[in-house]
A and B are shown apart, each in its own frame.
Chain A
């Protein structure tokens, strides 16, 4: 099963030129991945290219249907550390 893009996509074009299989289409209301072409970058790159540059958490699902960028991946702060990080930031 291929990667897919959800409606939280902001159409920023970052993923489109990176896809080694040219599986990403600029479409409205949001970009789409052609499931027939997507290889998950298998054999091409260590990481799926679209998900590695996507600036929106949860906008791309992997072949298992799970968010390729889960909550916390955008900021680098996992949900369980959020409260502590917030306290530290607000003390600045």
Chain B
């Protein structure tokens, strides 16, 4: 069998483990051409694109119409990267100014989203005014919006007028019984409604909104927050239902719950899923539809490539001092995007040339799949020093293919209530975060982490600096196979915790 690293063309026979279910670089491979064209440069929708293209969110929508147990509107922490959190609320005019400034300074930018910090559709005037101005001033920037769905049916018509071709709906359940454990109340028809009744109304509106968007030809991605013991057993059903209604991508995200965040779940000690639980559920849902695994759960004012946040460079006071030629900036964007596309095409061709029949190498023996961590600062290559990485991308190499599994942050949020004790160093914490991986690929690595990684059963590897990620992962897998390391069962590893 050939080792496929790019350009998936096979349909999954049943779950990702059979290969080709969209885990590799282009998980959008099975989509119709028209949809692929719409999303191929969208860092949130295309795993491959997120190595190259940047996005930003503008925080113009402060109000919310529901209460979620994983959200607390009181907190604004500049060190946190998670939805619902924002430092500087903007008026539509300010937001447009900021978008134009960022798009001029980060020409890799393709996408502007409105995602809060409340619900964009609970602030329809601010949200729509921002879209209206931007579609006129920066027609090359794609516009998207993310919503809890409660006000969606009422806004579909208006959204379709503003050149919005992507909408994300957060759907955590299709059963009011489950919903009542996630949403304590909604504000609906001028009343606060609680419990199952509230969840039933929210679910009805979400599903209706999804159907209306699909009927309009607007692409819909569904986000679900995986909450162990609440909806973990239920999300496969969610995946099945939203796929049947025409959502093109399902993004199962881990619950972020820490006491320091002041959320109900955080304070009550609701745990988030382990890496293993998240991956298992994503794999189960993948039998039903295209899954997304590279989501970074951005802040409502995030700026830059996924995994980085350059928001601090673009505060309103800094933007006011910038002198920008908008027309020239748009031309520069076009040139930069063209160069990126050429680079992607070259990597694709290069990768096509390195397919290696693994079975030949192994004499037909079964080899087990292996997880590897990769340090990259973008561009689809291994180009980051181990010690500089704030997150690692996780890939699974097997006899069939190399597939992207997800990412693990090593720069914890506000780690106010760390259960591991204060004695643990940042390095030890990083190594614990990489549990389950058998190799870590980076451009360079220091002496101390090298030794500690080896002790933890994780092989450090700086041999593949500047090589395309999938190609390097495949090469390391082959080396491990040739060394006979894949005949043995995986070494006993500490289970990774979220």
Interfacial residues, chain A to chain B (CB-CB below 8 A):
8, 10-14, 17-18, 45-47, 49, 52-53, 55-56, 74-77, 85-86, 89-92
Q: Which of A13, A47, A76 is the one whose CB lies under 8 Å from B62? A: A13
Interface size on B, residues (CB 8 A): 29
Q: Which residues of the other chain, A, contact B270 by a CB distance below 8 angstroms?
A: 89-90, 92
Contact status B122-A89, CB under 8 Å: no
Name A92's closest neighbour in chain B (CB-CB). B229
Contact: A52 with B271, CB < 8 Å?
no
8 Å CB contact of A74 from B64, B89, B123, B184: B184
Q: Is the CB of A52 within 8 A of B73?
A: no
A10 touches B271 (CB 8 A): no
Kindly list the 5 A-B residue pairs having the minimum CB-CB distance in the complex, ordered from nearest.
A92-B229, A14-B63, A76-B184, A55-B73, A52-B192
User: Which residues of chain B come closer than 8 Å to A76, judged between CB atoms?
Assistant: 184-185, 194-195
B191: interface (CB < 8 Å):
yes
Residues of A within 8 A of B265 (CB): 89
Q: Which of A17, A52, A74, A77 is within 8 Å of B191, CB to CB? A: A52
- Which residues on the A side are within 8 Å of B269 (C-beta)? 86, 89-90
Cα distance A8–B63 in the bound complex, in angstroms: 16
**Bound CA span A12–B73, Å:** 8
Check A52–B118 contact: CB distance below 8 A. no
Q: Which residue of B lies closest to A91 (CB)?
A: B229
Q: How far is B67's CA from A13's CA once the two chains are assembled, in angstroms? A: 15
Q: How far is the CA of A25 from the CA of B41 in the complex (A)?
A: 42
Which applies to chain B's interface (DSSP): helix, strand, loop or mixed? loop
B264 — which chain A residues lie within 8 A by C-beta?
Answer: 74-75
Bitwise, B171-215 to A at CB < 8 A (1) or not (0) is: 000000000000011010011101100000000000000000000
Please determine whether A85 and B268 come into contact, CB atoms closer than 8 angstroms: yes
Q: How far is the CA of A45 from the CA of B187 in the complex (A)?
A: 13
User: Is B161 located at the chain interface by the 8 A CB criterion?
Assistant: no
In the bound complex, residues from chain A placing their C-beta under 8 Å from that of B195 are 76
Task: List residues of chain A with CB within 8 A of the CB of B229.
Answer: 89, 91-92
Q: How far is the CB of A78 from chain B (nearest CB, A)?
A: 12
Q: Which residue of B lies closest to A85 (CB)?
A: B268
Q: List 19 A-B contacts (CB under 8 A).
A: A11-B89, A12-B73, A14-B62, A14-B118, A14-B122, A17-B63, A45-B191, A46-B190, A49-B190, A52-B191, A53-B192, A74-B67, A75-B67, A86-B269, A89-B265, A89-B270, A90-B270, A92-B229, A92-B271
- Is the C-beta of B240 less than 8 angstroms from some C-beta in chain A? no
* 6 extra A-B contacts, CB within 8 A, seeds A46-B191, A53-B63: A13-B123, A14-B118, A47-B190, A52-B192, A74-B184, A75-B264
Inter-subunit contact A10/B192 (CB<8 Å): no
**A12 engages B62 (CB within 8 Å):** yes
Interface residues of B (CB under 8 A from A): 62-65, 67, 69, 73-74, 89, 118, 122-123, 184-185, 187, 190-192, 194-195, 228-230, 264-265, 268-271
Judge whether B228 and A92 touch: CB under 8 Å: yes
Given A10-B74, A86-B268, the answer on whether A45 and B62 have CB atoms closer than 8 Å is no
Give chain B nearest CB distance to A80 CB in angstroms. Answer: 15
Across the interface, which residues of B come within 8 angstroms of A18, CB to CB? 190
B residues in contact with A85, CB < 8 Å: 268
Q: How far is the CA of A77 from the CA of B194 in the complex (A)?
A: 11
For A16, give the chain B residue with the smallest CB separation: B63
CB distance from A16 to the nearest CB of B (A): 8
Does A47 lie within 8 Å of B184, measured CB to CB? no
A17 to B185, CA, bound (A): 20
| Chain B proximity of A23: nearest CB distance (Å) | 16
Which residues on the A side are within 8 Å of B192 (C-beta)? Answer: 47, 52-53
* B186, closest chain A residue (CB): A53
- What residues of A have a CB within 8 angstroms of the CB of B74 in the complex? 8, 10, 56
Q: How far is the CA of A49 from the CA of B190 in the complex (A)?
A: 7
Distance, CA A91 to CA B270, complexed state (A): 8
A52-B190, A55-B64 are contacts. A90–B268 as well, Cβ < 8 Å? yes
CB contacts (< 8 Å) of A11 on chain B: these are 62, 89
Closest to A51 in B: B192
B185 touches A47 (CB 8 A): no
CA distance A91 to B122 in the complex (A): 35
Q: Within the assembled complex, what's the spacing in Å between the Cα atoms of A14 and B67?
A: 12
Are A12 and B191 in contact, CB atoms less than 8 angstroms apart? Answer: no
Give the CA-CA distance A17 to B229 in the complex, in Å: 38
Chain A residues with CB under 8 A of B185: 76
Among A45, A46, A55, A91, contact of B67 (Cβ-Cβ < 8 Å)? A55
Complex interface: chain B residues within 8 A of A47 (CB): 190-192
CB-nearest residue of chain A to B192:
A52
Q: Which residues of A contact B187 (CB under 8 A)?
A: 14, 52-53
